[in-house]
Structure 1
Amino acid sequence: MLAASVTSFSPDSPLDGLEVGDAPEPVTPEHWTTVDVRAASLNHHDVWSLRGVGLREEQLPMILGTDAAGVAPDGTEVIVHGVIGADGHGVGPRERRTLLSEHHPGTLAERVAVPAANLIPKPAGLSFEEAACLPVSWLTAYTMLFTAGGLAPGNSVLIQGAGGGVSTAAVLLGVAAGLEVFVTSRSAEKRERALSLGAAAAVAPGERLPQRVDVVLESVGQATWKHSVRSVRPGGTIAVCGATSGDAPPAELTRIFFQEIRIQGVTMGTRDDLAALANFVSTQDIKPLIDSVHPLQNTQEAMARLLSGAQFGKVVITV
């Protein structure tokens, strides 16, 4: 079958280790099944894999991809939950939690094997391309807003960075849930686009907000951490899902303990969270924002788009 795999690590030039070609058919242990992939979306996790973070040389080649939408053997249209081993389904209670493409082959392929319990029905109102955006970025945004952040209608949130999959998802989900949404971006164009999605305000990085917010969604790290700590209200929460600009500088611990700020790490979410997210976007008629769509054989081009940072929304691969 055709698949996009990391075949070698290149921290400085990650595309050098990406190859699209023939790969073995997936193996399905007991309680596992296969999904014929119709679409998958790219994530920064794929970039880290190409740079050698989270993988070892002896695991190569490894098929990339942590999310997908496709068709199960019985013809059901499904979304794949890419967290394996979180609760023992299909792997046993002692296997540590991993994401697809870390220990088990990923979703950038014609077929992928997953525990049968990891399949969620695809909402009829979403295309395969739209549904493929949900399992990683959208699930992470949903968890940060409503599980880690505990936000409710009328609350406020700052989303650091605009244009990426998590940030655009958070804007759309937050607006639909009745939150007051603030966004930062270095790009004036991206700030304008965030406003068009319903954000209350969009400011340059580091710019003072009209008010302190209940929750900050932090995925940038070093470049925005100080601003995040100074933008959240006393007793508020900073939900962290990544650090694309590197680890944070001095942690501002004095401000954090004195103002009783809670720091909460987030890695995607549970299957139940994904099911709730799918139901939410379906009932609220929310459409994931797609930046561009590329066929599987053009994964190099798609990954280059993600690496450029120019995207606004999700970069999607179709099979």
Structure 2
Amino acid sequence: MRAAYASSFDTDNPLAALTVGERPEPIHPEEDWVTVQVLASSLNHHDLWSLRGVGLTPDQLPMILGCDAVGTDPDGNEVVIYPVVPTPGDPRGVSILSEHFAGTLAERVAVPRVNLIPLPTGLSATDAACLPTAWLTAWRMLTTKGRIDDAESVLVQGAGGGVATAAVALAVGHGKRVYATSRDAGKRERIAALGATALEPGARLPERVDVVIETVGAATFDHSLKSAAPLARIVVSGATAGHEPKINLRRVFAMQLEILGTSMGTPDELTDLLAFCAEHEVRPVVDSVVPFSKVEDAFARLHSGDVFGKVVIDHTA
């Protein structure tokens, strides 16, 4: 079957480590695994890190890439794949597809049957393929950790990236006042078009917010603290610009702030996210849809740093 996979590692030029070619059919490590025919998938920066050798070892090569996908199960049902799978031997006890088990950037992929979630009516395969990693992370940050139902306002740092852009769209979909920062003027225009107030990094907000979504880290964390209202939740899922920020602990305890870490989400949370998007007509921000025959172009687009939203792969084109 045709697949896109890491055949080597290249720290400086990850695209050089990408190969598109034939790979064996999926293997079922357990009896409860099934093969899904992939209809659509989407790229994550995780795929580029894999090509750099982060999270993989040479003896795991070649490794089919990709975490997110929608496909058809053996019974002909259209399903969304939850990408976290039990992984004996991994210190976490689990991994996401393309770390220990072959990923979704292929004609077919093997997953546990319990990881298959029905595709809701009204959501296209290309839209739903954006949701299982970045959008699920944003959903958990806002709902389970950030308790957005108890909030009136949200600040999203570094909007333009996958998780942050998803957080903007979902917070707007919840009817909250949303502020979002970006260094890029063009991305600020696009953020504003989603319904948020777009600001330069570090800009003073017109109010202190109840929830802060942090994926940037050291570069924005002081601003996040200063922008937080009493009892606010600052939810962290990444640190793209430094993982050791200087924190004013007096502000933390005086304002009774919560600093919460999180990663990914649960199958139930993905089910809730899918239902929310279908019911409220919230659709993922899609940068581009690329046919699988041009998957190298999709990786180049992601690597360029110019993306806004998700890069989607159409496996049927």
TM-score (norm 1): 0.93
Range 153-162 or range 246-255, more displaced: 246-255
Partner of 1:121: 118
Partner of 1:242: 238
Percent of pairs identical after alignment?
55
Amino acid at match of 2:217: G
Once the two structures are TM-superposed, the CA of residue 254 in structure 1 deviates from its matched residue by: 4.3
Matches of 2:247 and 2:49, distance apart in 1:
24
Contact preservation (8 Å) 1:139, 1:273: yes
- Is residue 157 of structure 2 the alignment partner of residue 160 of structure 1? yes
Contact preservation (8 Å) 1:152, 1:178: no
Once the two structures are TM-superposed, the CA of residue 223 in structure 1 deviates from its matched residue by: 2.3
Aligned residues: 314
Q: How does 1:1-319 map to 2 (within 5 A)?
A: 1-28=1-28, 29-85=30-86, 96-152=93-149, 155-199=152-196, 201-319=197-315
Q: Cα–Cα, structure 1 residues 287 and 276, in superposed 2: closer, same or farther, change >3 Å?
A: same
Contact preservation (8 Å) 1:20, 1:297: no
Once the two structures are TM-superposed, the CA of residue 214 in structure 1 deviates from its matched residue by: 1.0
Matches of 2:124 and 2:284, distance apart in 1:
10
Amino acid at match of 2:203: E
Contact preservation (8 Å) 1:85, 1:95: no
Matches of 1:65 and 1:13, distance apart in 2:
18
Deviations 1:295-314 (A, max 9, x none): 22322221221222211111
Once the two structures are TM-superposed, the CA of residue 232 in structure 1 deviates from its matched residue by: 1.7
Contact preservation (8 Å) 2:157, 2:180: yes
Amino acid at match of 2:75: D
TM-score (norm 2): 0.93
Matches of 1:185 and 1:147, distance apart in 2:
25
Once the two structures are TM-superposed, the CA of residue 176 in structure 1 deviates from its matched residue by: 1.5
Range 279-288 or range 6-15, more displaced: 6-15
RMSD of aligned residue pairs (Cα, Å)? 2.0
Once the two structures are TM-superposed, the CA of residue 51 in structure 1 deviates from its matched residue by: 1.7
Q: Cα–Cα, structure 1 residues 73 and 99, in superposed 2: closer, same or farther, change >3 Å?
A: same
Once the two structures are TM-superposed, the CA of residue 95 in structure 1 deviates from its matched residue by: 7.8
Deviations 1:90-135 (A, max 9, x none): x89x981111111111111111110000000011211111010110
Amino acid at match of 1:120: I
Matches of 1:48 and 1:140, distance apart in 2:
18
Q: Cα–Cα, structure 1 residues 202 and 270, in superposed 2: closer, same or farther, change >3 Å?
A: same
- Could you tell me which runs of 5 or more consecutive residues in structure 1 were left unpaired when the two chains were aligned: none
3-state SS of paired residue (1:152): helix
